[in-house]
Amino acid sequence: MKRSVPDLIQAADPLVMVTAYDYPGARHAEAAGVDLILVGDSLGNVVLGYDSTAPVTLADMIHHGRAVRRGAPETFLVVDLPFGTYQTGAGDAMRSAVQVIQQTGADAVKMEGATPEILEAVTVLTRNGLPVMGHVGLMPQTATAQGGLKVQGRDEEGARRTLDGALALQEAGAFSVVLEAIPARLARLITERLAVPTIGIGAGVHCRGQVLVYHDLLGLYEGDEKKLAKRYAEVGRTSREALEAYAREVRAREFPGKEHSFVMKDEVLGKLY
């Protein structure tokens, strides 16, 4: 059942969020009963084959967001605003968010960071009834400036910046804040200080919710394990083995068998000879 923003804020149980990028993934996530689905701009890495999220466009997010909504009509849906479509201020952020909401049917958008421009954008969007999820800690859109895809907030200055950013996002109206790749004890402190739920990825067990990337948790890429993700399946291996079996059977003329072939009456066929 789809939860409202107040339900999510007040939820006593940990919130379960997972990313999805297409119709089948969304169907699986909804059938599994997750609380929120995120169309992450991790789309760029795991679906579109880019080596960062920077090339992902608003049109890409809308295209995939629409497919996800068709697969998960009853689940709270968050869509990432991609790099360059909101950082310049509230006007741009509002236009991008309205396009996403109107064209995908999403319930909320997510933005990375807590700069003055982003805080202003969060203020304006939420004041106008557009729910925003924040995101601090490791921020892949600007990871190059953060020194690469590395754990954030280990030193006092970085920890304080992450805590202050999360507090400022809540103050600006964010209904929830993602904490990515920060020490578990810092995530616990931030979670205690915030009234709105924190959703962690690589941020320990004390966050109010957890999020994982679909492809990471399903093991869609063989041999590519990340510390912050647990693999609950080896779907990549299963998929490759199935494709190999198919190729083998085609080459051996074992597929299609009788059970996959259509029949015709002898007398009809006889007339053709």
Closest distance to ligand KIV from the beta carbon of 136 (Å): 11
Binding site annotation covers 224? no
Pattern 30-59, Na ion, x by CB under 5 A: ----------xx------------------
Binding site annotation covers 112? yes
d(CA 118, CA 90): 7
Closest distance to Na ion from the beta carbon of 41 (Å): 4
Contact of residue 178 among Na ion, ligand KIV, none (CB under 5-8 Å per partner type): ligand KIV
Alpha-carbon 196 to chain mean position: 19
d(CA 188, CA 166): 12
Say if residue 89 is exposed, middle or buried (CB neighbours under 10 Å; 0-12, 13-18, 19+): middle
Binding site annotation covers 41? yes
Alpha-carbon 168 to chain mean position: 23
Query: Residue 107 interacts with Na ion (CB under 5 A)?
Result: no
Q: Which is nearer to Na ion, 13 or 216 (CB)?
A: 216
Binding site annotation covers 107? no
Closest distance to ligand KIV from the beta carbon of 121 (Å): 17
Report, as residue numbers or ranges, the catalytic residues: 180
Q: HEC string of 197-210? A: CEEEECCCCCCCEE
| Binding stretches for ligand KIV (CB under 6 A) | 19, 38, 40-42, 80, 178, 180, 201, 211, 213
d(CA 202, CA 132): 21
Q: Which is nearer to ligand KIV, 128 or 144 (CB)?
A: 144
Long-range contact list for 223-231, CB < 8 A, 24+ apart? 227/202, 228/181, 228/201, 228/202, 229/201, 229/202
Task: Provide the annotated binding site for 3-methyl-2-oxobutanoate.
Answer: 41-42, 80, 110
Binding site for Na ion (CB under 5 A): 40-41, 80
